[in-house]
Structure 1
Amino acid sequence: MTRNASARGPARRRLLQGAGSLLAAAALPARAAPAGAEITGRLARYMVEARDRPLPQEVTLACKHRILDTLGAMISGARMRPGEMAMAYVRGLGGVEEATIVASNLRTTAINAALANAMCAHSDETDDFEPVTKAHPGSATVPAALAMAEKEGRSGLEMIRAVALGYDLCCRLLLALGPDLVRGSHRSAEGTSSTFGALGAAAALARLDERSTRFALSYAAQQVSGLWSWVKDEDHIEKAFDFAGMGARNGVTAVTMVQAGLTGVADVLDGTHNLFIALSTDPKPEAMLDGLGSRYFVTETAIKTFSVGYPIQSPLDATLTLRERYDLRAADVQRVVVHLPTDAVGIVGHSAMPDVNCQHLVALALVKGAVSFSDSHDASLMQDPSIRAVREKVEVLGDPALMMREAPRSARVELFLADGRRLEHVTKFPPGTKENPLTTERVNAKVRDLIAPVLGAPRADALIAQVNDLENLSDVRGLRNLIAP
């Protein structure tokens, strides 16, 4: 290339950039800079500080509960089709042995491990859920944290703090964008938020400085994605990627790229082309920072009592409460009406997946008096004559009165009995919510039920005990022999 030709290159780029800016200015409405701008820098500085900031005792406990709950989802999900396919895919990629794939003899890069373990975590509906934003923070944040903690040889306490930060970024991003505005643009709230959850955890464990954290935020922002088309996935395979695998991979990718020296944009959350105005028609950027260091979203997510779609937690709780209180059997019930928030009906109203089908699971609860992990995932039970007969009596209705911000996943169940009685129960906050939290013993019991069939009871008990004492683990690599054969 001649000297003149090489000189023309930058000049041409400047000309094109100038023309592009003029066209963009003509096409887009002017936006005032938000009050208290420089969101990127303020967030990056907090992220750097948070990795060494002591957490309140109740936040540490909440983190350990969510880490253990997500490990349960990962390990049980490793024996389900989405998890098995993710593991087979990653096995074919090879890679440096930095992190462990749960329930397997495979170690691979942190990026690949985060992807596979996260898809395992959302192989079904076992992972936690934030009721206001509808995010699923654990299934992306915890696998990313585990992968990076293994890669870097971090302590259990460092992992706990990283997970708390990841939950905060995951949920706050949706609050800044407006959860309903995200869905109104046909985007998936879960897919949109999961990248930032994974990024927060991975950046803390990589111990990035402020400049590198800014770059990692930009690399993560470029990858933020997710469409609401996941509702059409009948196999729960792409959904496992959309909700969890994609975000975990993206967050760890962003951090490891910056670790490798790649530079980026230092203010992706500010200015003309920032993330918020790209993804929202009415963003609230300050929501990304509000309450940081005092409000911890890890304490606000709901741990599922039943391994089913979250909108079905309250209907099952209400149904089983009535069944037990009045000593009912399925034969006593002539008709069931389940009232759900209107935005839940399209998700769980007529799903082909047994663990996301409200009518089927309510019928199962009436017939069996319980909803176990194995039964909720047994597709053959959808054809069982006794359960099908009861399912035909179950009607699911959207009820605008249940669209309550303070209790967005409540339910009202009516049972009409053969003797003429009508019984009703409202579950506003199902077990596992912040208003009705599970004890450590109940979290342990749920996880033991999930992982003992995969790892065996002795190893399951050892893993549960170690995570309950995670803040005293000097190196997270000490979990390797407990999470995998």
Structure 2
Amino acid sequence: MTVAGALARACATVSALDLDQVPPESIEKALRIIADCIAVSVAGYRTEPMAALVEADTKSGLVSGRAERNRSHRSTVWGGGQAPAHHAAFLNATAGSFLELDEGMRPTGHPGMQVVPAAIAVAQDVHASGADLLRAVILGYELCARLFRAIRLQPLAHPHGHAGALGAALAVSVLRGTDAEAATAIASTLPLASTWQACYDGATARNAYMGHAAAVGVRASDLAGAGFTGSFASFGVSLGELLGDGLDEAPLVDRVRYEALAIDAGYFKVHSACALTHTAIDAALDIVESGPLAPDSITRVWVETVAAVRKVDIRAAPNDLSCRFSVSYAVATALCTGTSGPAAFVYRSDIAAVAQRVEVRVDPQLEQRWPASSPARVRVEVGDQVLESLVENPIGHPPRALSREEHFAKFAGAISDPDRARDAWARIMDLRRLPDVDSLLAW
């Protein structure tokens, strides 16, 4: 079968997903992904660049306040205001990328933040039911996950901005009741050449990779409705040859397995950093459970882990985004602050000096456990002592899943208003019974 044929078959197979056959635990996972994406995005809007972007877009008329009742602005900007569906999706997904707290799946991919903002924006626009939104998110996530498993990206190609757009296009088209295959083929023709280098440099424009995918998902449906055509084969060229090294068709053409949906394998982040750093952060936090270490007391640090972590074995540039993509800085800040939230990744020269003493090695025995596990061992030399911790998987991954209470704590912290957080969480958890998604965000 050709790549084009496999992608067309994947669209047809996944878009036929029956919500009534989805197990209750998978429904809850999907609801939590929706909640997580909203909360993480709301927190992202509190960053200076996102606040400034919304202000500029409001002045230019791209965003309007609810009181203005702009008839073409029917989708909520989670940082405040209303916008057309494609622009709300762009802003919400971009904000959701800022703090590196968005959910994901292994091997590396982040379907949620590329699908959920697009699906919610369109569900509001067409007054879809909560059940319809839930189904769209699950099937959009399923297609994204199949694509992430199918492509083998080149080492410097980043997973945001391309496969996510196809999942978003499928979700949007299902919600609108329009030609899903045509829209997804158009999204296949509009990939983004996203790179890890932008992360290493701390170029915050890379946060718009997510926004690009969400917006393309919506616009691909618009283009299909206007008579534009797309090329599934183009995806095979761009992701299989230009940005990747081949494409495995098997995950694309598999039947929908309700007992093992892709959404079940997703993880939630509790550390404000690239997911590849999380096991090492957990190990470092274990070591300093009784209290952080003084930076000048740390002589040497060794991190033994899997080869995938080499992607983030860099010296951080002096900015918070680059720090989030440096395993040495992530471990150093965990050891010296005992924390891993957004504030821990504000660049500090004394922590950067500790990061210079961190040596990262691939352990062949640990490597054998990837990707089922993502183990890391951290050893810290302090005076005449060597402190050590080995962690198999990070908190928030399926083997160490967050309880509902733990996840709500993350959600409430991101929303930052306890009463609004409780109201929002309750609305999202009751999504399947909601008659109109437009009331989902009325908290």
> Are positions 1:372 and 2:341 aligned together?
yes
Q: Residues 76, 255 of structure 1: CA spacing in aligned structure 2 closer, same or farther, 3 A cutoff?
A: same
State whether residues 407 and 429 of structure 1, in contact with CA within 8 Å, keep that contact through their aligned partners in structure 2: no
Per the alignment, residue 264 of structure 1 pairs with 229
Q: Which letter maps to 2:34?
A: I
> Are positions 1:100 and 2:68 aligned together?
no
Q: Which letter maps to 2:377?
A: R
State whether residues 86 and 119 of structure 1, in contact with CA within 8 Å, keep that contact through their aligned partners in structure 2: no
Per the alignment, residue 396 of structure 1 pairs with 360
Q: What pairs up with 1:17-32 in 2 under 5 angstroms?
A: none
How far did residue 437 of structure 1 move?
0.8
What is the CA deviation profile of residues 84-119 of structure 1, one whole-angstrom value per residue up to 9, with x for unaligned ones?
354345433527212010121x21110011111110
> Are positions 1:305 and 2:305 aligned together?
no
What is the CA deviation profile of residues 317-364 of structure 1, one whole-angstrom value per residue up to 9, with x for unaligned ones?
11111222xx46515653221224334234253222333333333233
User: d(CA) in 2 for partners of 1:44 and 1:129?
Assistant: 21
Moved more, 63-72 or 192-201: 192-201
1:363 to 332, 339, 342: 332
What is the CA deviation profile of residues 112-139 of structure 1, one whole-angstrom value per residue up to 9, with x for unaligned ones?
111111100101211012121x111111
What is the CA deviation profile of residues 145-199 of structure 1, one whole-angstrom value per residue up to 9, with x for unaligned ones?
111111111122221211111111112113223x2xx225x53322222212212
User: d(CA) in 1 for partners of 2:235 and 2:291?
Assistant: 53
How far did residue 82 of structure 1 move?
4.3
Instruction: For residue 435 of structure 1, give the secondary structure of its aligned residue in structure 2.
Output: helix
User: d(CA) in 1 for partners of 2:325 and 2:6?
Assistant: 38
Q: Residues 400, 83 of structure 1: CA spacing in aligned structure 2 closer, same or farther, 3 A cutoff?
A: farther
State whether residues 124 and 236 of structure 1, in contact with CA within 8 Å, keep that contact through their aligned partners in structure 2: no
> Are positions 1:135 and 2:109 aligned together?
yes
Per the alignment, residue 148 of structure 1 pairs with 122
How far did residue 241 of structure 1 move?
1.2
Instruction: For residue 398 of structure 2, give the secondary structure of its aligned residue in structure 1.
Output: coil
Q: Residues 251, 89 of structure 1: CA spacing in aligned structure 2 closer, same or farther, 3 A cutoff?
A: farther
Percent identical residues: 24
Per the alignment, residue 51 of structure 2 pairs with 84
User: d(CA) in 1 for partners of 2:53 and 2:190?
Assistant: 20
State whether residues 341 and 408 of structure 1, in contact with CA within 8 Å, keep that contact through their aligned partners in structure 2: no
What RMSD, in angstroms, separates the aligned Cα atoms of the two structures? 2.6
How far did residue 471 of structure 1 move?
1.8
Q: Which letter maps to 1:462?
A: D
Q: Which letter maps to 1:451?
A: I
Q: Residues 339, 156 of structure 1: CA spacing in aligned structure 2 closer, same or farther, 3 A cutoff?
A: same
> Are positions 1:172 and 2:146 aligned together?
yes
State whether residues 308 and 376 of structure 1, in contact with CA within 8 Å, keep that contact through their aligned partners in structure 2: no
Per the alignment, residue 410 of structure 1 pairs with 375
How far did residue 264 of structure 1 move?
2.5
> Are positions 1:441 and 2:412 aligned together?
no
How far did residue 466 of structure 1 move?
1.6
User: d(CA) in 2 for partners of 1:391 and 1:206?
Assistant: 50
State whether residues 233 and 239 of structure 1, in contact with CA within 8 Å, keep that contact through their aligned partners in structure 2: no
Per the alignment, residue 427 of structure 1 pairs with 391
User: d(CA) in 1 for partners of 2:99 and 2:166?
Assistant: 22
Q: What pairs up with 1:270-309 in 2 under 5 angstroms?
A: 273=233, 275-281=235-241, 282-294=246-258, 295-309=260-274
User: d(CA) in 1 for partners of 2:364 and 2:161?
Assistant: 26
Per the alignment, residue 316 of structure 2 pairs with 351
User: d(CA) in 2 for partners of 1:194 and 1:410?
Assistant: 27
Moved more, 353-362 or 158-167: 353-362
How far did residue 49 of structure 1 move?
2.2
> Are positions 1:61 and 2:61 aligned together?
no
Q: What pairs up with 1:197-212 in 2 under 5 angstroms?
A: 197-208=167-178, 212=179
Instruction: For residue 303 of structure 2, give the secondary structure of its aligned residue in structure 1.
Output: strand
TM-score by length of 2: 0.86
> Are positions 1:314 and 2:279 aligned together?
yes
Q: Residues 276, 93 of structure 1: CA spacing in aligned structure 2 closer, same or farther, 3 A cutoff?
A: farther
Q: Which letter maps to 1:169?
A: L
Q: Which letter maps to 2:239?
A: L
Q: Which letter maps to 1:477?
A: D
Q: Residues 358, 286 of structure 1: CA spacing in aligned structure 2 closer, same or farther, 3 A cutoff?
A: closer
Instruction: For residue 63 of structure 1, give the secondary structure of its aligned residue in structure 2.
Output: helix
How far did residue 46 of structure 1 move?
2.8
Q: Which runs of 5+ in 1 are unaligned?
A: 1-32
Q: Which letter maps to 2:268?
A: I
2:185 to 214, 218, 225: 218
